[in-house]
Homo-oligomer: A and B are copies of this chain.
Amino acid sequence: MSRDRAYHHGDLRAALITASFELLAEGGLRRFSVAAVARRLGVSSAAPYRHFPDRDHLLSAVSGAAAHDLRAAILKAAVAAGPPAPDDLGATDPAAAGSAPAGPAAAADRLAAVAGAYFRYVVATGAGFHVIYAPELYAVADENRREQTRALMDTLLDLATATDVPSYRQAVPLVEAIIAVAHGYTSLFADGFFARGGPQAVETVAARATEAARALIRAEPRP
């Protein structure tokens, strides 16, 4: 064949992206460089420039892949957290927020699970919103990245509107708050902040992030 096992290296383009993820997971954006990625793959430092015109375009491809994978991780976690609604916009009746009726309560669980999923994904890969929305990428024209980030945000907004927020417009600040708390826990964890009083397990902090998200959802004004 010719498509899957390409010329000299064998799909160096894809390898560059996965090696970039490894680098990000180990040292964050600070350590990321085209030269380091090439070194890790054992290719010359000029090789990446056959596939990406410059550093920012490689980073943009990583950003697009991260948005895609993060969306998948979030969807998986959301489904695991509660029964998937037949319709994302939730045409359910106004049942109470008692113990666990199917409608809004399950939707709230799914939405809260986003925070934990975000935390776990970014701790594992190093590629969170600081990479997906890295300022240096604003000038980069990359249709795939645009598409993936849009899909990610749409998914988050869908999960939010499936709870009983009054409107799509109200869902935006709710999603932003959940992202903020998830990103905050993640960023502090990555900087070793939680290691002050003895190292804390990833799962402990992931649970905290999820719980905080749940509190934010509960506090949201209801119609």
Contacts and interface: CB of A to CB of B under 8 A. Distances in A.
A24 to B, nearest CB: 14
Contact of A138 (B138, B172, B192): B192
Contacts of A216: 212, 215-216
Contact of A187 (B130, B138, B172): B130
A65 B144 CA distance: 43
A191 B128 CA distance: 12
Integer count of this chain's copies in the complex: 2
A184 B179 contact: yes
Contacts of A29: 30
Interface residues of A, number: 34
Given A181-B177, A212-B177, A212-B181, A130 B219 contact: no
A147 interface: no
A30 B138 CA distance: 17
Nearest to A191: B133
Contact of A177 (B129, B173, B208): B208
Interface of A: 29-30, 129-130, 133-135, 138, 172-173, 176-177, 179-185, 187-188, 191-194, 197, 208-209, 212, 214-216, 218-219
6 contacts: A130-B187, A133-B188, A133-B193, A176-B188, A184-B187, A219-B219
Given A180-B181, A212-B216, 17 more contacts: A30-B30, A129-B191, A176-B188, A176-B208, A177-B212, A179-B184, A179-B188, A180-B209, A180-B212, A181-B181, A182-B184, A183-B184, A183-B188, A184-B187, A215-B219, A216-B216, A218-B219
